[in-house]
């Protein structure tokens, strides 16, 4: 299907393996070029203290697998369960990570695994007076908290990790990749896309923008267009299989987006 096409995989190194495997299984050559690295935060005492007081919240929302994994790492491998707390996950993979940690996940969207889909669930409509905790990385989108606050909830953040630009020889690596031909770039977050442009620098900016781009949301598509990319396709979902399907469409000339 991919007939040896070179596909740039920009996911953090520890999250790239499955997508790389799918690309190679489909006859492509997956090029690992992480534009994000994930690191734990130094202040684990706040994380531990927050989890000790989890019963003060009516709902705890985990926004990503990283949020689950780094919460576990900071809190001695456990996230306390509570019958009085509703545990919510933005997506299926996050819900599975929580289940693997022994928690019962009460809320997860059945499709469109993003904050908007979680906000659309009936259980998230009448929440005035509730206290909610969002477990996430440092920084990030404010849409979820803003909407919950508009509906009358009190919302706290618990950052458990931070995103950083990997320390690599960007110029040499990108020069080699571009000279050997890139057919498609895959991007799974806005920050990863912004970092790719930063890592490319002026020397490779035009070349990297000319490579067809596969993104996992319309929000990232708009950001990519603003950054000067003009061949952009949006996947049906953020899953690796959906990313692969869209990559194949690009390589075979059947892209849409």
Per residue, what are the HEC states of 61-126? EECCHHHHHHHHHHCCCCCCCCCCCEEEECCHHHHHHHHHCCCCCCECCCCCCCHHHHHCCHHHCC
**How many CB atoms neighbour CB 55 within 10 A?**
11
Q: Residue ranges per domain, the chain?
A: 6-36+166-251, 39-163
CATH class entry, domain 6-36+166-251: alpha beta
Helix (H) or strand (E) holding 253: none
pLDDT at 232: 97
pLDDT score for 103 = 94
Distance CA 156, CA 57 (A): 9
* The domains spanning 6-36+166-251 and 39-163 adopt the same CATH topology: yes
CATH topology of domain 39-163: Rossmann fold (3.40.50)
- Please name the residue that has the structure tokens 């020889």: 169
Contact yes or no for 156/134 (Cβ under 8 A): yes
Count CB-CB contacts under 10 A for residue 134.
22
- Return the pLDDT at 170: 65
* Distance of alpha carbon 68 from alpha carbon 81, whole angstroms: 13
Burial class (CB in 10 A: 0-12, 13-18, 19+), 53: exposed
CA–CA gap between residue 201 and residue 103 (Å, rounded): 44
Helix axes 170-179, 190-210, angle to 10 degrees: 50
What angle separates helix 218-226 from helix 190-210, to the nearest 10 degrees?
50
Residue 171 has phi, psi (to 5 degrees) of: -65, -50
Query: What pLDDT score was predicted for residue 167?
Result: 78
User: What is the model's pLDDT at position 24?
Assistant: 97
Output the pLDDT for position 193. 96
What is the per-residue pLDDT for 112?
Answer: 73
What integer pLDDT is reported at residue 74 of this predicted model? 95
Task: Give the DSSP letter of residue 227.
Answer: T
Low-confidence spans in the chain with pLDDT less than 50? 257
Q: What is the pLDDT of residue 42?
A: 80
- Are 6 and 31 in contact by the 8 Å Cβ rule? The answer is yes
């Amino acid at each position: 299907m991919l007939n040896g096409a070179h596909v740039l995989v920009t996911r953090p190194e520890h999250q790239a393996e499955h997508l790389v495997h799918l690309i190679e299984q489909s006859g492509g050559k997956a090029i690992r070029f992480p534009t994000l690295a994930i690191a734990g935060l130094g202040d684990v005492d706040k994380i531990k203290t927050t989890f000790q007081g989890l019963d003060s919240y009516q709902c705890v929302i985990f926004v990503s697998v990283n949020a689950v994994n780094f919460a576990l790492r900071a809190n001695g491998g456990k996230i306390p369960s509570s019958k009085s707390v509703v545990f919510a996950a933005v997506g299926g993979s996050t819900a599975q990570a929580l289940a693997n940690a022994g928690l019962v996940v009460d809320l997860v969207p059945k499709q469109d695994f993003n904050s908007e889909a979680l906000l659309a669930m009936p259980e998230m409509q009448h929440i005035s007076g509730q206290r909610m905790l969002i477990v996430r990385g440092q920084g990030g989108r404010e849409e979820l908290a803003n909407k919950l606050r508009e509906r009358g909830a009190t919302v706290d953040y618990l950052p458990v990790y931070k995103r950083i630009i990997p320390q690599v020889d960007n110029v040499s690596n990108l020069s080699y990749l571009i000279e050997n031909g890139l057919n498609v770039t895959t991007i799974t977050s806005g920050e990863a896309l912004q970092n790719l442009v930063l890592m490319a620098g002026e020397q490779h900016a035009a070349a990297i923008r000319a490579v067809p781009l596969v993104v996992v949301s319309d929000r990232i598509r708009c950001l990519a267009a603003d950054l000067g990319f003009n061949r952009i396709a949006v996947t049906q979902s953020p899953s690796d299989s959906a990313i692969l399907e869209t990559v194949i469409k690009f390589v075979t000339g059947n892209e849409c987006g």
